[in-house]
A and B are shown apart, each in its own frame.
Chain A
Amino acid sequence: MTGPSIEVNGVWKHYRRGVERINFRQMVPGPLGRRIPPAARPALEDVSFSVEPGGTLAIIGHNGAGKSTLLKLLARVTAPTRGSLRVKGRVASLIELGVGFHPDLTGRENVAFAGAVLGMSQSQVRKRYDEIVDFAGIPDYMDTPVKRYSSGMLARLGFAVAAHVDADVMVVDEVLSVGDAEFQKRSHRRLTTLREEGAAVLFVTHNLWAVEFVSPRTICLSGGKIVDDGPSREVVDRYQAGVFETIVSGERGSGARFANVRLLAGTVEAGERLVLESSAVIVGEASYLLTFVLATEDNLTLAITAAQLPEGDDKGHRSMRHEIGPVHLAPGSYRLWYSLTDFSEAPLIYDQASFPFTVTGDKPWHGHTGFVGLNVESAGTD
Chain B
Amino acid sequence: MTTPEFIAEGGVWRSVGARSRLRQAWPLLVVWARREFRVRYRQSALGGLWAIVQPALTLAIYGGLLHGALKVGSEGLPYLAWAWAGLALWSFMVNSLTSASSSLINSAGITGKVYFPREIVPLAPVGACSIDLLIGFCGTVVLLIVQGVGLSWHVVLLPVVLVPLFLWTAALGILMATLTVFIRDLRMVIPFVLQMMFLASPIVYPPSVLPRSVHWVLAVNPVAAVVTAARDLLLRHELPQNPLVLLAQTGAGLTALILVLAYLRSVEPRLADVL
Please, which residues of chain B bring their CB within 8 A of the CB of A117? 28, 110, 114, 116
Q: Within the assembled complex, what's the spacing in Å between the Cα atoms of A35 and B10?
A: 12
Contact assessment for A77 and B115 in the assembled complex, using a CB-CB cutoff below 8 Å:
yes
Q: A22-B183, A79-B8, A88-B5 are contacts. A113–B31 as well, Cβ < 8 Å?
A: yes
Q: Mark B250-275, 1 if CB is under 8 A from A, else 0.
A: 00000000000011001101101110
Q: Mark B98-133, 1 if CB is under 8 A from A, else 0.
A: 000000000001111111100000000000000000
Q: Residue A280 at the B interface, CB < 8 A?
A: no
A99 to chain B, nearest CB (A): 5
Please, which residues of chain A bring their CB within 8 A of the CB of B273? 15-16, 36, 78
Contact assessment for B6 and A78 in the assembled complex, using a CB-CB cutoff below 8 Å:
no
Contact assessment for B267 and A27 in the assembled complex, using a CB-CB cutoff below 8 Å:
yes
Q: Residue A72 at the B interface, CB < 8 A?
A: yes
Q: Within the assembled complex, what's the spacing in Å between the Cα atoms of A80 and B8?
A: 7
Q: Within the assembled complex, what's the spacing in Å between the Cα atoms of A29 and B182?
A: 12
Q: Residue A104 at the B interface, CB < 8 A?
A: yes
Contact partner, B8, options A29, A73, A96, A109, Cβ 8 Å: A73
Contact assessment for B114 and A102 in the assembled complex, using a CB-CB cutoff below 8 Å:
no
Q: Within the assembled complex, what's the spacing in Å between the Cα atoms of A193 and B185?
A: 49
Tell me the B14-29 residues at the A interface (CB within 8 Å): 24, 27-28
Please, which residues of chain B bring their CB within 8 A of the CB of A87? 5-7
Q: Residue A207 at the B interface, CB < 8 A?
A: no
Interface SS of chain A: loop
Q: Within the assembled complex, what's the spacing in Å between the Cα atoms of A85 and B7?
A: 6
Interface SS of chain B: helix
Contact assessment for B35 and A105 in the assembled complex, using a CB-CB cutoff below 8 Å:
yes
Contact partner, A26, options B8, B24, B270, Cβ 8 Å: B270
A163 to chain B, nearest CB (A): 15
Closest residue on chain B to residue A9 by CB atoms: B9
| Interface hit among A118-126, A314-322, A346-354 | A118-126
Contact assessment for B269 and A79 in the assembled complex, using a CB-CB cutoff below 8 Å:
yes
Please, which residues of chain B bring their CB within 8 A of the CB of A113? 31-32, 35
Given contacts A85-B8, A102-B39, A104-B39, 15 further A-B contacts (CB under 8 A): A20-B274, A22-B182, A27-B178, A29-B263, A29-B267, A33-B267, A72-B112, A76-B6, A77-B115, A79-B269, A80-B8, A88-B6, A99-B114, A104-B43, A122-B31
What 5 A-B pairs are tightest by C-beta distance, nearest first?
A29-B266, A76-B115, A116-B31, A79-B269, A85-B8
Binding site for B on A (CB under 8 A): 1, 15-16, 20, 22-24, 26-27, 29-30, 33, 35-36, 72-73, 75-81, 84-91, 93, 95-96, 99-100, 102, 104-105, 109, 112-113, 116-119, 121-122, 168
